[in-house]
Amino acid sequence: MTIATALRHSLCTLLIALSGVAWSASPAATEYAFAALGDTPYNTAEEEQFVVMLAELNRAADLSFVVHVGDFKASTTACSDELFLQRYDWFRLSHRPFVYVPGDNEWTDCWRPFAAGRDPLERLAKLREIFHSGDMALGQTPLALTRQGEIAGLPGARYPEHVRWIQHGVLHLTLNLPGADNNRTRMPDETETRMIAVRDWMKAGFQYARERQLPGMVIFVQANPWRRNGLPRLAFAEWLQELAMEAQNYPGNVLLVHGDTHEFNFGPALVDPVTRRPVRNVTRLEVYGSPRVNWVRVTVTVKGGVAYFAAEPGSQFQ
């Protein structure tokens, strides 16, 4: 990372911290850290680096959990049970709780001939069977997860990959939003049905956080919902509008963590679709991706009833 880039990230962190509005009188500060990664490993060389990185994460005693935001293989790699199970075994080696969010390379792109021509919905069902069953995260340290279908009165039993948990009063939740177009072109009916569950789960999360006056939320998705020019991708524009609306009715700070385009980015990104003004309490973090095998250390500080987020490269691998 260049000095200019480092300074820019530091400035973003400062601006984000200053943007929070205290809404609880609690003076005590608490802090925790987690690892966010995605879009790796894609080939044999990256697999070797990935295993070394897992060992590094295991040595980082201050990490509360690890989240992989999807694409644990290249789109050109066969979508085989054998590869899925290998990744499962690796994720289970984590000393910390390990949460995985499905990526497009693991299911929506599996119809391609070079991915062995598999049915995307069958592959998603297999991912759910392997990675998204039971009430605990992967890894060797217990972390209880609440899945969407487990909440009375809330539909979504078909989407066990939608989970949430609380750490130091901060709500964390996952959404199945795969890049690059949310499966919208090939399977629009699937996308439409899944987005109902996505919206329900996100809205339920915000309602839960508001009712309990939680200081912050972290949302994990696979897709980068923005184009390079900063405008929303068509497949995610409506969802971003709903995120903006929910966030502006929530007094805490929100961190959106995603992968997909393989560039480390941290800072404000969401704007109100009506006023075109930045949504001050939402920050986005994009994790590294192939060919860079790296993770991001996210530090969350809860002070005065508000959660503040900071992010920095976690590993020596670039």
Three-state secondary-structure class, residue 297 = strand
Q: What is the DSSP string of 158-198?
A: T-TT-EEEEETTEEEEE----TTTTTTTT-HHHHHHHHHHH
Question: For each of the chain's 318 residues, which pLDDT tens digit applies?
Answer: 443 334 334 434 333 333 333 334 456 789 999 999 999 999 999 999 999 999 999 999 899 999 999 999 999 999 999 999 999 999 999 999 999 999 999 999 999 988 788 999 999 999 999 999 999 999 999 999 999 987 766 667 789 999 999 999 999 999 999 999 999 999 999 999 999 999 999 999 999 999 999 999 999 999 999 998 888 999 999 999 999 999 999 999 999 999 999 999 999 989 998 889 999 999 999 999 999 999 999 999 999 999 999 999 998 554
Integer Cα distance of 91 and 73 in angstroms: 13
CA distance linking residue 158 with residue 167, whole number of Å: 26
Q: Which two tokens stand for residue 287?
A: 């994790």
In angstroms, rounded to a whole number, what is the distance separating the alpha carbons of residues 232 and 238? 9
Q: Is residue 292 within a helix (H) or strand (E), and if so which, with residue range?
A: none
Please report the pLDDT score of residue 273 as a whole number: 85
pLDDT of amino acid 83: 97
Q: How far apart (Å, rounded) are the C-alpha atoms in residues 164 and 305?
A: 20
Say what the pLDDT of residue 24 is.
Answer: 44
The CA distances from residue 223 to 75, 97, 138, in Å, are 14, 22, 22
pLDDT of residue 155: 66
Q: Which fold has domain 36-58+69-313?
A: Purple Acid Phosphatase; chain A, domain 2 (3.60.21)
List of residues 6+ apart from 153 with CB closer than 8 A? none
